[in-house]
């Protein structure tokens, strides 16, 4: 079968031949429909995050997948059922650990997990995958074409659960939310705040010029677009209003700290990005004081567990399809797979012939299609 693999830091993704995997007891065989591409994939391609399984040179990419059960292999799944696989698995040398036993692999520290398509385990960009039945979350057939969005939505489901938990010791009635970043995760989150969470006032911070499809969808959702070149994060409370929630999906490290200023009293900032080292000056005294005197909180959130995937399937059903159509700027078959990675501009070492498609600034989210529905 064909798969899409990368040698992290040494090239752009390429099509490789792999044997069709055999499901072990308790696993099902899944025929992959579509797999989304996100910022983490680019970090893996560049070699700045993640890594190949021990003994391998290449990593099969992909962690945002949807497929159809081809062989239930005696599990409770039904053949022909569409499913979305979760991402974390126990490390190669152990069968399970406390985090997986509790259904909370998203809370496992480094070393206690691998992530399919990211670190230590091959991903889902292949014609077939196998996975334990309890890691395959059913999704209705009529949503399957957008099933590759379940994983990113599950990331926000988890962040929301943790944000609300931080504020659960008192009567908190949030009305305003600011999403930092108008990439696909930011836009899905804006849609969740305006639609399923029914916030009164939702804002999205970005850096794009009009006309732009992401600005259009922000405004069609009833949210307000804020251009960070005109209104920096820390000036948003004065220009608009202080925010009950700030949701950071930029990976821009200064946002973690400027968020404190953007919050309303008793507000919470969720951090989702994974920036590289970067030293800069802050007024740490003021930020510390502000956190204390206004009971503010910051919560980091990574990955998601099966409960969040299940919530994400419900959210996917509730969001307007128009959002998915706008966000998904391209779905490419294997014959055009380079177009699915328009931002993979890694310099290709001599001897590795590949093409690099420049980022044309119209791409929001792409996916690779292995089999049609």
Residues forming the site for its own copies (CB under 8 A): 102, 104, 106-107, 109-110, 161-162, 164-171, 253-257, 264-266, 271-302
Q: Please, which contacts does 195-199 make with residues 24 or more away whose CB atoms are closer than 8 Å?
A: 195/221, 195/318, 195/319, 195/320, 196/315, 196/318, 196/319, 197/160, 199/174, 199/175
Closest approach of its own copies to the CB of residue 42, in Å: 16
Q: Which of 20, 282 has the CB closer to its own copies?
A: 282
β-bridge mates for residue 121, sequence order: 116
Q: Which of 28, 272 has the CB closer to its own copies?
A: 272
Q: Which of 212, 307 has the CB closer to its own copies?
A: 307
40: enclosing H helix or E strand: helix 39-46
Rounded Cα gap, residues 45 and 60, in angstroms: 11
Q: Which of 2, 254 has the CB closer to its own copies?
A: 254
Rounded Cα gap, residues 20 and 35, in angstroms: 17
Closest approach of its own copies to the CB of residue 289, in Å: 5
Q: Does residue 267 have a cis peptide bond before it, meaning omega lies within 30 degrees of 0? A: no
Q: Which of 301, 328 has the CB closer to its own copies?
A: 301
Closest approach of its own copies to the CB of residue 254, in Å: 6
User: Sign of the CA dihedral 89, 91, 95, 96?
Assistant: negative
Closest approach of its own copies to the CB of residue 279, in Å: 5
Q: Which of 81, 156 has the CB closer to its own copies?
A: 156
User: Two tokens at 186?
Assistant: 């930011």
Rounded Cα gap, residues 345 and 288, in angstroms: 39
Q: Which of 278, 372 has the CB closer to its own copies?
A: 278
Closest approach of its own copies to the CB of residue 171, in Å: 5
β-bridge mates for residue 330, sequence order: 366
Closest approach of its own copies to the CB of residue 226, in Å: 21
Closest approach of its own copies to the CB of residue 86, in Å: 16
**What are the start-end ranges of the H helices in 53-199?**
98-101, 150-166, 184-191
Pair 205, 226: CB distance under 8 Å:
yes
């Amino acid at each position: 079968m064909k798969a899409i693999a990368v040698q992290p830091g040494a090239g752009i993704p390429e099509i490789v031949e792999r044997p069709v995997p055999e499901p072990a007891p308790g696993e099902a065989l899944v025929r992959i429909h579509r797999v989304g591409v996100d910022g983490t994939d680019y970090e893996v391609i560049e070699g700045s995050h993640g890594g190949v399984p021990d003994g391998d040179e290449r990593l099969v990419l992909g962690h945002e997948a949807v497929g159809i059960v081809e062989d239930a292999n005696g599990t409770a799944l039904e053949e022909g059922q569409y499913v979305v696989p979760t991402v974390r698995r126990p490390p190669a040398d152990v069968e399970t650990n406390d985090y997986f036993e509790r259904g909370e692999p998203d809370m496992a520290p480094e070393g206690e997990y691998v992530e399919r398509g990211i670190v230590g385990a091959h991903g889902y960009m292949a014609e077939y995958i196998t996975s334990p039945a309890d890691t395959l979350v059913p999704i209705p057939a009529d949503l399957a074409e957008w099933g590759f969005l379940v994983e990113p939505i599950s990331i926000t489901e988890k962040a929301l659960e943790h944000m609300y938990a931080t504020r659960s010791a008192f009567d908190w009635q949030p009305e305003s939310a600011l999403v930092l970043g108008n990439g696909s995760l930011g836009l899905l989150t804006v849609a969740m705040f305006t639609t399923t969470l029914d916030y009164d006032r939702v804002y999205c911070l970005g850096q794009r010029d009009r006309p732009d499809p992401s600005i259009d969808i922000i405004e069609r959702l009833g949210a307000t677009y804020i251009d960070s070149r005109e209104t920096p994060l820390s000036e948003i409370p004065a220009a608009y209003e202080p925010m009950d929630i700030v949701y950071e999906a930029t990976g821009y490290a200064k946002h973690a700290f400027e968020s404190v200023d953007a919050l309303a009293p008793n507000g919470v900032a969720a951090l989702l990005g994974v920036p590289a080292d970067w030293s800069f000056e802050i007024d740490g005294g003021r930020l510390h004081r502000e956190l204390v005197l206004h009971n503010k909180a910051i919560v980091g959130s990574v990955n998601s567990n099966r409960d969040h995937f299940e919530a994400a399937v419900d959210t996917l059903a509730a969001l307007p399809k128009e959002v998915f159509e706008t966000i998904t700027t391209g779905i490419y078959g294997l014959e055009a797979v380079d177009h699915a990675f328009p931002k993979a501009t890694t310099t290709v070492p001599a001897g590795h012939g590949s093409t690099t498609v420049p980022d044309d600034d119209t791409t929001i989210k792409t996916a690779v299609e292995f089999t049609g529905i």
